[in-house]
């Protein structure tokens, strides 16, 4: 079991977890190539901060997320990953919401939400 990282603050939550929550969080929040011990860990989601809030950014966010989470499938910790996007009700907020469903090796489905800043 790992110490759970709170996705809202990035700090340890004070509890333990045996889910893929930390693995998903770290792969989405870490810029690709910036972690010295594993240059393949991370995502390109940070690049979307410079993009205008247009429809193709949602497609890119899904692609970048799926690429970042693909190692979970490769090492057998997950069997299925589903990523969808939505926009907040108010336009021009500058945020895109990712809804991520990860089915772990035991068949349990875990849901995660991840905000992505766009210009």
Q: What is the mean pLDDT of each run of 10 residues along the chain (119 residues)?
A: 71 77 91 92 93 86 96 94 85 82 93 89
- What's this model's pTM, rounded to 2 decimal places? 0.86
Could you give the CA distance from residue 30 to residue 43 in angstroms, rounded to a whole number?
Answer: 6
Please compute, for residue 42, the number of CA atoms within 13 A of its CA located in the half-sphere on the CB side: 15
Find the domain containing 21 and state its range: 2-117
How do residues 13-42 score in pLDDT, each as one tens digit? Answer: 777 777 788 899 999 999 999 999 989 999
The confidence score (pLDDT) of residue 55 equals 83
Could you give the CA distance from residue 25 to residue 103 in angstroms, rounded to a whole number?
Answer: 15
The domain tally of the chain equals: 1
The confidence score (pLDDT) of residue 98 equals 94
- What CATH number is attached to the domain comprising 68? 3.10.450.40
């Amino acid at each position: 079991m790992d110490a759970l990282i709170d996705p809202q603050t990035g700090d340890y939550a004070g509890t333990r977890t045996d889910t893929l929550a930390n693995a998903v969080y770290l792969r989405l929040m870490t810029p690709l190539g910036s972690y010295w011990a594993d240059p393949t860990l991370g995502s390109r989601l940070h690049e979307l901060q410079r993009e205008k809030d247009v429809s193709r950014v949602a497609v890119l966010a899904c692609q970048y997320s799926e690429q970042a989470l693909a190692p979970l499938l490769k090492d057998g910790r997950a069997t299925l990953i589903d990523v969808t996007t939505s926009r907040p009700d108010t336009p021009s907020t500058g945020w895109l919401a990712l809804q991520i469903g990860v089915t772990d090796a035991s068949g349990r489905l875990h849901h995660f939400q991840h905000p992505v800043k766009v210009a």
